[in-house]
A and B are shown apart, each in its own frame.
Chain A
């Protein structure tokens, strides 16, 4: 589903290479995890895939179901089925959460040539999905992420994911800033979305999130490359030995 080949990326404004040839292939129905120390390029990978400004691709490719992601605008990637759950969800004062989500759902539907969702159907769907994530009516009405706690922001990301029903979900350090209960809630939300047609890329520092969202494949990233891939046991190895051993392999 998601095919990344030898992807090399530098900062646009600076002569600083961040990704140095990333290879990654995620099949539909699978959950892949990327772990790695600070500065290894994990978040950059998620930003580049989602189409954020400020990066320059110097080599390689990234496709979603054969479509060249790197040629698309951010909104086109979203309509094609890519979703990034932000590490730091953005606050948008003045824009109601519900308005935001309905605008997004309908924009994607239009882009795909589908009919817009009716107000009634949308309301029914969002209420059901919000309830599962313990997001109350008040949170839906409030401006996007404004005044939300860290946990509420992350739950709101998962709600967006649930409403937009993407093919490929990237979760960028979704566990950061979460207490145990919130992590459980978020993980349940993610697990509820796991199915045969959907791929996941879970980016995290720590193994603990992977106790809740069980990965099929774990990758270790260091210095802009994937230096080791394996099964879930790889995450436990990191937990015990840290990243130092893998950083040696990158050099």
Chain B
């Protein structure tokens, strides 16, 4: 009981001073329902099984920890060379001045506040719905908090093949900003959409994206988290993937004191495909590094494929966490499920904790999972050195080889090269230190 009481007190402290944004009755109701869910669950605490490897303290505290903004000088931002539609948020607030015109062929884009003040049917049917469904069987209180209080965000509907990606750029200017963003994405039957995300966002960032990929639709997501070393971030991707639809998500994470990225994916239609991948590079030398990938994929249809590919490269006391589950529901026959989580520890101080899970209620499925933790292969290192490659360069080459399987999950070559160049730069910067 003491635990429940503590949780209640913590929740009230967190909620004090927070106000729910105005909107139409449907939006207010969705937010109220989310708040009710949150009150029932309480905020995550260290003793919660789902938070065993990641301390939620900084994410649930009343105020965010101050985070320095980063001046990257004249460094070219990621995705800069990609032809994309830019949508900029500064400390969690949409900035029309820095954003492109939101009218785009094949897309309907609006600000969340606009959507909740009107009756956009698809948005009404989606807001808080995927998140609510994703609360079973595991509580995700920070997502419910997000639905209840998100002050900004974007609603994007793809009605055809989008000509270029939509790039959500999160700028960080105030060192105590506390941003809660909620995006809705609907990909109509046969439509295609790519969403790119990058930028530090805020001192503390809680981001939720609900995605509905209709039958035959295709959704790609590439995200880069980095250069904001003092980041404290929790993100949720809640997706529903219809028959014959594709969902592919990749995240590159470099540094960050605390990052928890959750994916909750329901494969709902026959012949659907869902891939989630991530490469995280952590160096605990200048600041703590803690990165947590938590993934829950539910197969609820026949002849579907899912892949989870997560790679972490850790040094100087960096910590990596992977919690991944494949749930195959009764009747989800011919499921092809794959999950791999691997860590490359570059020293003895770094740690990786993994909790891979399979839960299968169908008898004609092929599911595999694996998790490994290892050091640089000394044989390979010597082989490279014997050919004249210095140890630092040889190690980088082996690191790139290690994360390749995750990077290869990015279908688009230009995006893949861009992400790869980020990775290479990160390694090069570390080499100079």
Contact = CB atoms under 8 A, between A and B. Distances in A.
The answer to whether A binds B is yes
Interface of A: 50-53, 73-75, 77-79, 84, 86, 89-95, 99-100, 103-104, 107-108, 111, 143-144, 160, 164
A75 B388 contact: yes
Given A51-B385, A74-B386, A92-B383, A103 B400 contact: no
A144 B393 CA distance: 16
B382 A104 contact: no
A144 B381 CA distance: 13
A78 B387 contact: yes
Nearest to A160: B387
Contacts of A100: 384, 387, 397
B398 interface: yes
Contacts of A53: 378, 382
B401 A95 contact: yes
Contacts of B402: 94
Interface in B376-433: 377-380, 382-391, 393-394, 397-398, 400-402, 404-405
Given A51-B386, A90-B379, A75 B391 contact: yes
Contacts of A50: 386
B401 A104 contact: no
Given A52-B382, A100-B384, A95 B390 contact: no
A73 B382 CA distance: 10
A104 B384 CA distance: 7
B90 to A, nearest CB: 39
B389 A107 contact: yes
Contacts of A73: 385, 391
B385 A78 contact: yes
B380 A92 contact: yes
Most buried by B among A74, A95, A164: A74
A164 B387 contact: yes
Interface pairs A-B: 8 shortest CB-CB:
A94-B401, A78-B388, A104-B387, A108-B388, A90-B383, A74-B385, A94-B404, A95-B401
Nearest to B380: A92
A224 B397 CA distance: 36
Contacts of B385: 51, 73-75, 78
Contacts of B386: 50-52, 74-75, 77-78, 84, 86
13 contacts: A51-B385, A52-B382, A75-B391, A75-B394, A77-B386, A86-B386, A90-B383, A95-B397, A95-B400, A95-B401, A100-B387, A100-B397, A107-B388
Contacts of A74: 382, 385-386
Contacts of A107: 387-390, 393
A100 B380 CA distance: 11
B393 A103 contact: yes
Contacts of B378: 53
A50 B389 CA distance: 13
A103 B397 contact: yes
